[in-house]
Amino acid sequence: MATNTSDTLELTGERHDCWNQIGVFGDGTCPELAKVIHCRNCPVYAAGGRSLLEREPPAGYLREWTQALAEAKDEDEAEDTFSVLIFRLGLEWLALPTHVCQEVAEMRPIHTLPHRSGPVLLGLANIRGQIRLCVSLGELLGLQPADDSGRTTNHKDQQCLVVIARGRDQWVILVDEIHGIQRFHIGAVRDAPVTVAKATPRLTKAVIDWQDTGVGYLDDELLFIALRKEVL
């Protein structure tokens, strides 16, 4: 893997993802591996992560959205209704509008970025061959993790990744459980009390009444702004 600046920028392009070709995720023939041991220690791999927010979605990617999400977006034209993706973080049930949710993916390895990863920025995740920044929404919101005592199954078996996008911003968020897509009438929405979801009021624009509980309806615009401030 070359470390020249121009070469680094070129290699971060979709057609030059050397980590998937000759790096540890490929055939391992890259001569730089003898020095850096793993691609996550290479400046090319790190530059690829930094460049993600500046990239347009690859050609054809939007057409690969799941049918369920696509149908939910079409149905959003119905008067007085809206659709959301409901998921759990720790003990809290939260929701995001389906128009920012691109895909739900199974858990997979998350590779840390040297000197960049932390409580919120977990690292990089490979989604359909695309390397994307993966973040902990629970850490961003200051939520307490779920208590696993007394559970018969490990809650990590339910964890999954959700690809979200707004404009040119794209993130992968780690969630503890997915309920799925749900459609609501606007009458099910009420103002968020100041105590909702502990540290989340600044990102919660409303509460949705659902199955005898309140779901924090996140403000996607403020969420993406908060992610950029925290990570970049």
pLDDT at residue number 150: 45
Q: Count the domains in the chain.
A: 2
Locate tokens 């959301």: which residue? 84
- 56-80 confidence digits (pLDDT tens): 555 554 455 455 555 555 555 556 8
- Nearest residue to 119 via CA among 133, 144, 142, 136: 136
Cβ atoms within 10 Å of 139's Cβ, excluding its own: 17
CA distances from 194 to 88, 202, 226 (A): 20, 9, 19
Q: Is residue 25 part of a domain?
A: yes
> Domain of 157: which CATH number?
2.40.50.180
Q: Read off the tokens for 63.
A: 């057409």
Q: Read off the tokens for 146.
A: 């779920």
- 70-118 confidence digits (pLDDT tens): 555 555 555 688 899 999 998 899 999 999 999 998 899 999 888 776 7
* Same domain for 139 and 110: yes
Distance of CA 155 to the CA centre of its chain: 19
- 117-160 confidence digits (pLDDT tens): 678 999 999 998 889 999 999 999 888 776 654 444 455 668 99
Provide CB contacts within 8 A for 35, sequence distance 6+: none
Q: Read off the tokens for 15.
A: 């057609």
CA distances from 150 to 43, 146, 155, 175, 189 (A): 44, 12, 11, 21, 33
* Same domain for 224 and 167: yes
Backbone phi, psi, residue 95, to 5°: -145, 145
Distance CA 232, CA 50 (A): 9
Residue 11 belongs to domain spanning = 5-50
**Alpha helical stretches, state H, the chain:** 5-11, 18-21, 33-36, 43-50, 67-75, 137-141, 220-231
Question: In the predicted model, is pLDDT for residue 226 greater than 60?
Answer: yes
* Same domain for 120 and 161: yes
3-state helix, strand, coil in the chain (%, to 5): 30, 30, 35
* Same domain for 199 and 93: yes
* Same domain for 195 and 105: yes
* Same domain for 85 and 16: no
pLDDT at residue number 197: 42
* Same domain for 91 and 15: no
DSSP 42: S
Number of H helices, E strands in the chain: 7, 12
Would you place residue 231 in the very low, low, confident or very high pLDDT band (cuts 50, 70, 90)? confident
Locate tokens 């964890």: which residue? 159
